[in-house]
């Protein structure tokens, strides 16, 4: 049991740069917030709250975990629905790429940290149909203009 926990902790420890509160302010209005906690016991847990320019909100539960088979994956539950697993396919010092070719959209999720900026994107797995966000560290009480 201790060996399993140690392996899980190692797998997600390299993603500590994801931890924190992040805010993106899209040009058309609205806001996108992500909050990542951990890693603890080999698990990072996140939540996304997106509000569009008209004030309508949506959410997503997220986690990065080490599976029993030893793989690390991003697991998304949009709107609290069924979980979709995206195995980690590339991890560098401040970049993580997760892919699931069987998912309709997105097929690839990418996070990259550059100083106090977090870049996130989703795409069709071939680099097309890209949606991207540029997050800054979110200070308490701070929102988009």
**pLDDT tens digits along 102-123:** 999 999 999 999 999 999 999 9
**Number of domain units in the chain:** 1
Choose among 118, 113, 114: nearest CA to 136.
Answer: 118
Identify the domain containing residue 86 by its residue range: 2-137
Q: What is the pLDDT of residue 5?
A: 40
- In sequence order, the β-bridge partners of residue 137 are 22
Percent of the chain with pLDDT over 90: 78
For position 110, which CATH number holds? 2.40.128.20
Tens-digit pLDDT profile for residues 12-31: 778 999 999 999 999 999 99
Whether residue 144 is contained in a domain is answered as: no
In a domain, 69, yes or no: yes
Enclosing H/E stretch for 35: strand 31-40
Please tell me the predicted confidence (pLDDT) of residue 145: 84
> Which 8-state DSSP code applies to residue 68?
T
Domain annotation covers residue 142: no
The answer to whether 73 touches 63, Cβ cutoff 8 Å, is no
User: What distance in Å separates the CA atoms of residue 39 and residue 13, rounded to the nearest whole number?
Assistant: 6
* Cα distance between residue 28 and residue 101, in whole Å: 30
- The verdict on residue 26 lying in a domain is yes
pTM for the predicted model, two decimal places: 0.89
Confidence of residue 10 (pLDDT cuts 50, 70, 90): low
């Amino acid at each position: 049991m201790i060996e399993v926990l140690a392996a899980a902790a190692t797998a997600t420890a390299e993603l500590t740069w994801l931890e924190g509160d992040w805010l993106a302010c899209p040009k058309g209005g609205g806001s996108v917030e992500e909050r990542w906690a951990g890693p603890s016991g080999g698990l990072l847990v996140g939540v996304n709250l997106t509000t569009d320019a008209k004030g309508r909100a949506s959410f997503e539960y997220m986690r990065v975990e080490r599976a029993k088979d030893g793989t690390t994956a991003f697991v998304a539950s949009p709107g609290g629905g069924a979980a979709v697993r995206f195995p980690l396919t590339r991890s560098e010092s401040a970049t993580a790429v997760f892919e699931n070719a069987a998912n309709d959209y997105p097929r690839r999720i990418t996070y990259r940290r550059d100083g106090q900026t977090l870049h996130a994107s989703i795409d069709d797995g071939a680099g097309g149909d890209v949606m991207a966000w540029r997050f800054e560290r979110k200070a308490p009480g701070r929102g988009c203009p």
